[in-house]
Chains A and B, each alone.
Chain A
Amino acid sequence: MDLTSLSSELHRLRDAALASVAAARSSATLELLDVEVLGKKGSLTAVLRGIGSLPPDDRPRVGAVANEVRASIEAALAERRATLRVAELADRLATEAVDVTTPGRPIGRGALHPIIETMGRIAEIFGRFGFIVHEGPEVEDDLTNFQMLNIAPDHPARDLWDTLYVDVPGHLLRTHTSPLQIRVMQAHRPPIRALLPGRVFRYEAVDASHASEFFQVEGLMVDEGTTMGDLRGLLDEFSRAMFGHDKRTRFRPGYYPFTEPSVAFDVECLVCAGSGCPACSRTGWMTILGAGMVHPVVLQHGGLDPERYQGFAFGMGVERIANLRHGVGDLRLYTENDLRFLEQFR
Chain B
Amino acid sequence: MRVPLNWLREYIDIQLDPEQLAERLTLLGMEVKGIEAWGADWRSVVVGELLTVVRHPRADRLSLTTVDVGAGQVLEIVCGATNIAPGQRVPVALPGAVLPGGRRIERAEKMGVVSNGMLCSGDELNLTSDVDGILILPPGTPLGTELSNLYGDTVLDIDVKPNRGDALSLVGLAREVSIVTGAPVRFPEIGLVESGQPTSELLSISVEEPGLCRRFVARWLSAVKVGPAPDVVQVRLQAAGMRPISNVVDASNYVMLELGKPTHTFDAAAVHDHRLVVRRARAGERLETLDHVQRDLAVEDLVVADAAGPLAIAGIIGGASSEVSERTTAVIIESAIFDPLAIRRTGQRYALRSEASLRFEKGQEFRLARIAADRVAGLIAEWAGASVAAGRADSAAAEPGPTQVPFRPARIDRLLGTQLGPGEQRAILARAEIATEAPNGPATIPIAGEVKPLTATAGLGEALIAVIPSWRADLEIESDVAEEVARVLGYQKIPPILPHTAMPPYLDSPLGVRDLVRQTLAGAGLTEVVTAALIAPRQVEAFRSATPAGPALPGDDPAEGRPIRAVNALSSEHAVLRQQLLAGLLQVVALNLHQGREDVAIFEIGKGYGYDEASGLIREWWRLGFALTGASQPPAWNRISRPWELDDGKGLVELIADRLGFAPPAWTRLVGEPVFHPGRSASGASEGALVGRVGELHPALRATEDLRAERIVIGEFALRGLAGGSPTVANIVPIARYPAIERDLAVVVGQDRTAGEVERTIRSAGGGLLRGVRLFDIYTGPPLGADEHSLAYRLIFQASDRTLTDAEIETTLAAIRAGLAREAGGRIRA
Contact = CB atoms under 8 A, between A and B. Distances in A.
B504 interface: yes
Given A123-B509, A221-B499, A115 B530 contact: yes
A106 B634 contact: yes
Contacts of B597: 339
A92 interface: no
A191 B502 CA distance: 6
A234 B525 contact: no
B31 to A, nearest CB: 7
A24 interface: no
Contacts of A79: none
B595 A340 contact: yes
A342 B603 CA distance: 12
Interface string B485-500: 0110001101111110
A226 B499 contact: yes
B483 A213 contact: no
Nearest to A166: B564
Main DSSP-derived SS at the A contact region: mixed
Interface in B1-56: 22-23, 26-29, 31-35
B567 A230 contact: no
Interface in B516-545: 518-519, 521-534
A49 interface: no
B789 interface: no
Contacts of B568: 164-165, 203
Contacts of B577: 139, 166, 173
Interface stretch (A9-17, A30-38, A329-337): A329-337
A110 B524 contact: yes
A224 interface: yes
B449 interface: yes
Interface stretch (A53-61, A83-91, A151-159, A175-183): A151-159
B525 A337 contact: no
B163 interface: yes
B162 A193 contact: no
Interface string A288-307: 00000101110011000011
A40 interface: no
A135 B570 contact: no
B415 interface: yes
B452 interface: yes
A63 interface: no
Given A132-B509, A223-B502, A293 B479 contact: yes
A63 B672 CA distance: 92
Contacts of B274: none
A237 interface: yes
A168 interface: yes
B620 A138 contact: yes
Nearest to A298: B448
A93 B449 CA distance: 88
A37 B217 CA distance: 135
Contacts of A102: 637-638
B272 interface: no
Q: Which of B494, B531, B611 has its CB near the most chain A CB atoms (within 10 A)? A: B494
A205 B570 contact: yes
B344 A154 contact: yes
Contacts of A281: 33-34
Given A261-B486, A293-B479, A301 B510 contact: no
B454 interface: yes
Nearest to A205: B570
Contacts, number: 291
Contacts of B448: 296-297, 300, 306
A236 B495 CA distance: 11
Contacts of B570: 203-205, 212
A130 B502 CA distance: 10
Contact of B567 (A157, A165, A225, A255): A165
Contacts of A192: 504
Contact of B415 (A129, A160, A310, A342): A310
B444 interface: no
A48 to B, nearest CB: 47
Interface string B333-356: 000000011001100000000000
A250 interface: yes
B708 to A, nearest CB: 15
B648 to A, nearest CB: 11
B530 A301 contact: no
A226 B501 contact: yes
Nearest to B588: A337
B591 A336 contact: yes
Nearest to A131: B504
A138 B525 contact: no
B492 A166 contact: no
A236 B162 contact: no
A52 interface: no
Q: Which of A150, A205, A252 has its CB near the most chain B CB atoms (within 10 A)? A: A252
A171 B451 CA distance: 21
B494 A337 contact: no
B601 A108 contact: yes
Interface in B624-648: 632-634, 636-639
A137 interface: yes
B524 A338 contact: no
Contact of A168 (B23, B27, B506, B618): B618
B417 A105 contact: no
A339 B592 contact: yes
Contacts of A295: 479
Which 6 A-B residue pairings sit nearest by Cβ, starting from the closest?
A108-B525, A229-B417, A227-B417, A253-B29, A261-B483, A255-B161
Given A113-B527, A253-B28, 13 more contacts: A110-B523, A110-B601, A116-B528, A130-B504, A139-B620, A201-B534, A225-B501, A227-B497, A229-B494, A229-B495, A232-B491, A283-B22, A337-B588
15 contacts: A103-B637, A109-B522, A110-B521, A111-B522, A130-B499, A134-B510, A135-B510, A154-B345, A213-B532, A232-B494, A233-B498, A251-B494, A253-B486, A301-B452, A342-B529
Interface of A: 102-103, 105-113, 115-116, 120, 123, 127, 129-130, 132-135, 137-139, 150, 152, 154, 156-157, 159-160, 164-168, 171, 173, 188, 191-194, 197, 199, 201, 203-205, 212-213, 221, 223-230, 232-234, 236-237, 250-255, 257, 260-264, 281-283, 293, 295-297, 300-301, 306-307, 310, 334-340, 342-343
Interface of B: 22-23, 26-29, 31-35, 161-164, 340-341, 344-345, 361-362, 414-418, 447-449, 451-452, 454, 456, 477, 479-480, 482-483, 486-487, 491-492, 494-499, 501-504, 506-507, 509-511, 515, 518-519, 521-534, 564-571, 574, 577, 588, 591-592, 595, 597, 600-602, 607, 609, 611, 618, 620, 632-634, 636-639, 724
